[in-house]
Amino acid sequence: MTNSYVDGLRRRTARLRRLDEILGGGDTYRVYLGEYQATKSLLRDATFTPSSRRKLVALLAEQAQQAGWAAFDGGRQADAESLYDGSKTAALEAEDSDLHGNALAFLAYQTPDPQMAVEIAASSCEALSAGSPSGVRALLHERLAWACAVAGQASRTERALNAAQAELEERPAGEPQPDWAAWVDETELNIMTGRCWTELRRPLRAVPVLIRALDQYEDHHARDKALYLSWLADSYLAAGEVEEAAAVTGRALNLASGVASVRPRQRLAPVLRELHQYRNVGAVQNVLQAAGA
């Protein structure tokens, strides 16, 4: 098997990744898992040069992360963790420090212990090499920021967000990025920034940056926009803006309807529970009825 053949497989993986922009993990998991399993079969049955084998093992790590993400999004937590572990093993075999770091960042998301999640996310940043592209660096720093926010570490959250911002601002013009990190940009960082400040109960910081980022999102990115609106609703509630929280929650519920992802409803559930104490407010009554329906 040649390097050019493996490059063709990588381009196919990149095309299939675009499905995640409009579909939930419940729809894409079997597709991504099938690609991962097909690559495992190739590694078992085909003949390679050392270079082409290493490239295919790196692709296996990438595909495991994509399948793991779909599993996570579709509510298959055990499958996601297994795939992320497999990705980490493959990335180490391929000597791909960027994919190794990303596998660790995904595992941090899966870890229920907040302090342990911070340690794993910090290790993901330590895995970066001198040649790691700026987009990958920004991605891992912002995922560290999220882990720190969940753990209640405000100062460390801000440092990680600043590090991600610096990577994006200093990105060399035309620097190539791996497809799995090509979507990392200023809007994505604003979303993560708003999520972090929401988690840390700092609505005055969270609301403006979330509004700015959400203005860049089209409704056809239904799952992601519903998720991000859930953090905006959460911050409005923390600020005592009940009617605004209800309106945003209603928009999120509409977008999440019919999307094969468990995460929007999971994120909106605590918002709806908190809104219930304001059920005598007309806007809240409407959104609670919509949620019940």
Residues in the chain: 293
pLDDT in tens, 113-168: 999 999 999 999 999 999 999 999 999 999 999 999 999 999 999 999 999 999 99
pLDDT category at 293 given cuts 50, 70, 90 is low
Alpha carbon distance 66, 16 (integer Å): 10
Q: Which residues of 192-231 are buried (b: 16+ CB within 10 A; e: fewer)?
A: bbbbbbbbbebbebbbebbeebbeebeeeebbbbbbbbbb
pTM of structure: 0.95
What does the pLDDT average to over 19-44? 96
What does the pLDDT average to over 178-193? 96
The token pair that represents 279 in the structure block: 């059920």
pLDDT at 292: 85
- The chain-wide mean pLDDT, for the chain, equals 96
The token pair that represents 275 in the structure block: 């809104």
Alpha carbon distance 237, 200 (integer Å): 13
pLDDT category at 275 given cuts 50, 70, 90 is very high
Q: Is the dihedral of CA 135, 136, 141, 145 positive or negative?
A: positive
With a cut of 80, say whether residue 245 has pLDDT above it.
yes
Share of the chain above pLDDT 70, in %: 100
pLDDT at 272: 97
Rounded to the nearest angstrom, the gap between the alpha carbon of residue 180 and the centroid of all alpha carbons in its chain is 11
Residue 39 vs residues 29, 36, 100, 106, 171: alpha-carbon distances, Å: 16, 5, 18, 21, 32
Residue type for position 3: N
- Among all chains, which residue has been given the structure tokens 């994006």? 168
